[in-house]
Each structure stands twice: as structure tokens, then as C-alpha cells.
Structure 1
Amino acid sequence: MLIHPWDAAHDEAEWRAWLAGHDFGQLAVNGLPGEPPWVQPMHFRYDAEPGPYGRVIAHLARPNPLWRALETCPDVLLSVVDDYAFVPGPWAAPEDAPAAHGTPTSFYAAVQLRCTARVVDDPAEKAALLNRQVAHFQPEGGTEQVAPGAAPFGRLLPGLRVLDLAVTDVRAKFKYAHHKPPAVQDRIAEGLAVRDAPGDAAARAHQLRRRPAERG
């Protein structure tokens, strides 16, 4: 992922705050020799600790073909992308150029977590991590805890494997045209507000939020 200086996260707090509001991404795993990478969409729980970058908890079905590739190479990448919008060329045209000379572009926020995967099969640890993940998605409760050998979910444990991903590096990008002159940024922000398509409000919010820092 190319990250220009104007697209980079202002600091660690920025990407952490954004990631805290996201729990679905795509896990990329190195393919077996002669095969392309495996890419698995999945829900996950991100914990800010332990370590400098935290960890990710997820689970997948045991028949998933991903496991063979993970056993060969535990280095993986979790990609999370959201708050995206298409920006038409006329909105991004230079101030002194015809609108038709503007270059279309994409707005988006992206965080990529490089991780070392540990596959958890121990029933007790697996149940504890599953309960931790479910607690993130259902803080209000309402679902029985998973316990090995206990109804109603104990019988399902053998059919699942848990991923405990230690995050070793983070790359974050907030692509919202902050290298453009203020007048062009204003035109884009107005266009997003008027169009108001899915994703436009979130993209516009990022564009406006980051502008004071860009202007110094």
C-alpha cells in the first residue's frame, strides 16, 4: 500500500481510534507453493494489548483450506478498509483548469495489520478466546458462554479453530486529498455533502477533520 506523506496517519492515536470502530476485514495468508495468496473475509476482535501493537482474535471453521497455508507460513496481513467514496474528476480539477480536466480519485481509510498467527486448538483456551470475541460483538450478553463439553456450544468446539494474531507492524492511510489546495478541498467536500451517497458523509468527515493539521 502506497502511503504519501499527506495520507499518513497523523499519529498512532489516529489509526487506533479508527480501528476501534471496525471489526470486519480480510485476512491475507501466503499461499502454498504455486498457489496465489488466500484471502479470508472475517469478523475479528482487536485488543490494544499485549505488545506495542496489540493482538487480534478470530475464529474459522476447521475445514477452511486456510489452515494448511498458515502451517507453512504464520506471517499474515489483516486489511481493514472503510469510509470510502469515489470523487468525480470535475470536483478535483485544479482551480485554473476546466472542470473536464480534473482527475477522478478514490477516498478511503485503510489500516493493515501485519501479524504472526498462532492457531489455538486447546479446548479450554479456545473457549475462553471465543467468549472474549463474542463479548465484543454482544456486550449486552444474551448468549450462553462456550465451555468444553457443556451444552449448548461445547459440542461445536471441535469444528472450530481460533486465530490469536500478534500484531507486529501497522500501516495506516487516510486518503482524502490533503495535498490539494484549500479551494479544491472545499469543492470536494461540498460535492460529497450534496451527493450524500453511502460512504460520502464518513469520507467528508475525515476530510474536514484532518484539514486543520494539514494546513498547519
Structure 2
Amino acid sequence: MYLPPHFVPIQPDALHRIMRTHPLGALVTSGPEGLDADHIPFEFDARAGPLGRLSAHVARANPLWQRCPTGSAVMVIFRGAQAYVSPGWYPSKHETHRQVPTWNYEVVHAHGRLTVRDDERFVRGLVARLTRHHEAAEPRPWKMGDADPAFIDDLLGRIVGLEIEITSLTGKAKLSQNREARDRLHAADVLAERGQGELAQAMRDAG
């Protein structure tokens, strides 16, 4: 990933925020047939190991967990807020006419080693935690106990757990930091008006 210095988020907290706010990661693997990617919601634990740990599950029918055994090197891509930015949103464009369109975004690449967890206790705990987290905002949060136990047991038998011990974290925040402050802030205001509040706030904070 190309990393100009002004686009790199330095603080680990910024990387963790993107991973937690946008937990659907693209798990990139390499096997006998070449590169592949699976899109999976991850749980991130920053306290596990020096750089943290990712946990997820896949369908037992998914060949990923057999094609990429424990110890395989993998990468997970988390894409945060992103949007097109028009040069017309920059006040300086109307003075100099020396601006062009661009795309602003936040992204994290997490590299690590995969561990396959074909373990009912592991997947049960993981699914319970993921459900509790993502249901928290619901008026009546769904929980595993709401379903018939035999039904849940059957479903848990159809999935396999994955853990990734993170060995490196690289992030990029391309938020118009290379533009004049007035251009960056006005573009943020336009994005906020168009429902891109998360990206707009990140651009405001990038100064």
C-alpha cells in the first residue's frame, strides 16, 4: 500500500477505531490456486498480544479453513469511511482552477498468522460475543437463548472458528490533508450535508 507521510494515521487508536467501527474485513489468503478473499465480520481484541488478535468464523462448507491451515500468513483489510470528493467543493478551485477530483478514505491492513479453531466452545463464545455487541443498539436485543437450543447447536456445528494473531498493522487515512485547511474543511461540510458524517468528522480532525 502506497503511504505518503501526510496520509498515514500514526496513533494505534485511529487504527483500532476503524477496525471496530467497520468490522467486516476482507480476509486475503494465498493457496495452491492463488490469491483469494473472504468477507467476514471480525471481533478485535487489542489486549491479546502485542498488536491484538482478530477472531471470526466461517461456514464449515467454506474450503478456506482447510486450504489455509494453522500457521498460514494472511492479511485482513478493513475499509472505513470513504467517498468521492469533487474539486468544486474546494474554495481555492474557484480562484486558481488547479484542483482535480479525488477519493477520500480510511483503511487498515492487518497482517498475521492464522489459527483454525474447530472447537464448539470457541465458536459458541465468539458468536455470543458478536451477537451481544451488534444487537446492543436494538430495542429488544436478540440473544442465542431466544432460539431453540438444538437449533443453535446444529448451526454451531456448521461453522469453524478462526483466530489471527496480528503481527503488523498498517493504516492509511486519505482525508485531504495535502490541501489547504479551508479546502479540506469545506469539503468536509459538503460531505456532512450529504450524509457522510463519519468521513466529514475524520477530515475535520485531520488538521
Same fold at TM > 0.5: yes
Unpaired runs of 5+ residues, structure 2, are: none
Partner in structure 1 of residue 198 of structure 2: 202
Out of 44, 47, 55, which is 1:46 matched to? 44
Partner in structure 2 of residue 173 of structure 1: 172
Query: Structure 1 residues 123, 143: closer, same or farther in 2, change over 3 A?
Result: closer
* CA contact 2:120–2:156 (8 Å) conserved in 1: yes
Shift of 1:203: 1.5
Partner in structure 2 of residue 22 of structure 1: 22
Alignment partners' CA distance in 2, 1:186 and 1:159: 49
Partner in structure 1 of residue 11 of structure 2: 11
Alignment partners' CA distance in 1, 2:156 and 2:200: 43
Q: Percent same amino acid among aligned pairs? A: 23
Alignment partners' CA distance in 2, 1:174 and 1:210: 9
Shift of 1:72: 8.4
Unpaired runs of 5+ residues, structure 1, are: 212-216
Shift of 1:80: 0.9
What is the root-mean-square deviation in Å for CA atoms of aligned residues? Answer: 2.5
Instruction: Say whether residues 1:189 and 2:185 are aligned partners.
Output: no
Shift of 1:119: 0.6
Partner in structure 1 of residue 145 of structure 2: 144
* CA contact 1:8–1:173 (8 Å) conserved in 2: yes
Alignment partners' CA distance in 2, 1:121 and 1:19: 24
Query: Structure 1 residues 85, 76: closer, same or farther in 2, change over 3 A?
Result: same
Alignment partners' CA distance in 2, 1:54 and 1:178: 28
Q: 1:172-199, CA deviations, whole angstroms, 9 ceiling, x for partnerless residues?
A: 1111011212232244234324xx334x
Give the secondary-structure state (helix, strand or coil) at the position aligned to 2:128: helix
Deviates more, 1:67-76 or 1:114-123: 67-76
Query: Structure 1 residues 91, 165: closer, same or farther in 2, change over 3 A?
Result: same
Partner in structure 2 of residue 214 of structure 1: none
Q: 1:74-123, CA deviations, whole angstroms, 9 ceiling, x for partnerless residues?
A: 1111111121110113335657522xx42211111111111211111133
Query: Structure 1 residues 203, 128: closer, same or farther in 2, change over 3 A?
Result: closer
Alignment partners' CA distance in 1, 2:4 and 2:113: 26
Query: Structure 1 residues 125, 15: closer, same or farther in 2, change over 3 A?
Result: closer
Give the secondary-structure state (helix, strand or coil) at the position aligned to 1:16: helix
Alignment partners' CA distance in 2, 1:48 and 1:135: 18
Alignment partners' CA distance in 1, 2:150 and 2:186: 59
Partner in structure 1 of residue 68 of structure 2: 70
Query: Structure 1 residues 108, 162: closer, same or farther in 2, change over 3 A?
Result: same
* CA contact 1:61–1:160 (8 Å) conserved in 2: yes
Residues paired across the two proteins, number:
201
Alignment partners' CA distance in 1, 2:55 and 2:122: 12
TM-score between the two structures when normalised by the length of structure 1: 0.81
* CA contact 1:118–1:164 (8 Å) conserved in 2: yes
Alignment partners' CA distance in 2, 1:123 and 1:18: 29
